[in-house]
């Protein structure tokens, strides 16, 4: 695994301040990095966990945990930009969209969102249990986040012009110091994990290559968006020879004001290192947690 000792941590360097000015809206600061990770070791690890007692751990759970540990090791990538200032966040909050179509909750809206707060401090099994409960609630039509429930209800009951005006006020409140911190505590997301691959089935001759998104600077800021597709067999070079391996395509979208190209590469390699040997990070039973020393603010 790539070590995390030599990574950017200072939000107040001249380069960071210059980038904050350079990428002011309406310019978009987001850059996309596409890569793929061999998923064989991770699949074998999940198979071993499935034979043990405890909450079932899905691919999505493993990826959310890997993202959380990666951002914990790279604090600047977990920061947020508020009022043109970089605000370091001690904890990692992983937001995950939930498809509601075909479920009771889909009668009113097609998409829900869950947020796993303090995800870096959870064991893989605990994160899986938290995610399972949250997804079940969302799909039954019981939103798991009070702020999202309130804004969704507002969208349902007021005319469009009134809704737009109200959301503009909410966004202004997010920029104010006290109300902004309250809103962050109500919706403590610092990154987004989107599983686009859930909609893809294995089709001979078709492979996923990449995507891009530029998250709008409204309601909340995330420094990274992680998009994953379905695991697909690809021909790669192994020990100097072509070999077919199960590969997981990843799209890492990062805010250049927080993360430059070198740091983004380190993020990708650290994340890939976790998937190459998940047992080292999460333990043979998925119960390993970060130590108190590891979880201290940096």
pLDDT tens for each residue of 122-132:
999 999 999 99
Average model confidence (pLDDT) for the chain?
89
Compute the distance between CA of residue 122 and CA of residue 116 in angstroms, rounded to an integer: 9
Residue-wise pLDDT for 126-179, tens only, equals 999 999 999 999 999 888 888 888 998 899 999 999 999 999 999 999 888 888
Chain Cα centroid distance, residue 95: 6
3-class secondary-structure state, position 81: strand
Reply yes or no on whether the pLDDT at 227 is more than 60. yes
Structural domains in the chain plus CATH codes: 30-98+113-122+188-199+209-282 (3.30.559.10)
Q: Span 87-109, mean pLDDT?
A: 90
Share of residues in the chain with pLDDT > 90 (%): 60
Reply yes or no on whether the pLDDT at 193 is more than 60. yes
Reply yes or no on whether the pLDDT at 197 is more than 80. no
Q: pTM score, two decimals?
A: 0.91
Of 87-96, 97-106, 108-117, 210-219, where does mean pLDDT reach its minimum? 210-219
String of DSSP letters for 122-135: S-HHHHHHHHHHHH
Q: Which residue has the higher pLDDT, 88 or 25?
A: 88
């Amino acid at each position: 695994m790539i070590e995390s000792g030599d990574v950017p941590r200072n939000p107040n360097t001249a380069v960071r301040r210059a980038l904050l000015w350079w990428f002011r809206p309406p310019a978009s600061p987001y850059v996309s990095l596409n890569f793929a990770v061999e998923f064989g070791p991770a699949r074998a690890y999940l198979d071993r966990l499935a034979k043990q007692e405890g909450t079932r751990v899905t691919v999505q759970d493993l990826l959310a945990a890997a993202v959380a540990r990666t951002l914990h090791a790279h604090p600047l990538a977990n920061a947020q930009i508020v009022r043109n200032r970089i605000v370091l966040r001690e904890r990692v909050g992983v937001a995950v969209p939930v498809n509601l179509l075909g479920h009771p909750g889909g009668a009113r809206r097609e998409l829900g969102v869950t947020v796993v707060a303090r995800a870096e401090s959870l064991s893989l099994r605990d994160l899986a249990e938290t995610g399972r409960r949250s997804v079940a609630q969302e799909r039954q039509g019981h939103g798991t986040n009070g702020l999202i429930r309130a804004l969704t209800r507002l969208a349902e009951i007021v005319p469009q012009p009134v809704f737009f005006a109200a959301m503009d006020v909410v966004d202004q409140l997010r920029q104010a110091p006290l109300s902004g911190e309250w809103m962050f505590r109500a919706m403590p997301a610092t990154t987004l994990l989107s599983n686009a691959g859930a909609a893809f089935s294995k089709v001979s001759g078709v492979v996923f290559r990449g995507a891009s998104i530029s998250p709008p600077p409204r309601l909340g800021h995330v420094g990274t968006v992680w998009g994953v597709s379905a695991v697909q067999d690809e021909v790669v070079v192994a020990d100097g020879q072509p070999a077919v391996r199960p590969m997981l395509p990843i799209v890492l979208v990062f805010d250049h004001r927080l993360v430059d190209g070198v740091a983004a590469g380190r993020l990708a390699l650290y994340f890939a290192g976790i998937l190459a040997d998940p047992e080292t990070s999460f333990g043979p039973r998925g119960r390993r947690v970060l130590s108190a020393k590891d979880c201290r603010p940096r």
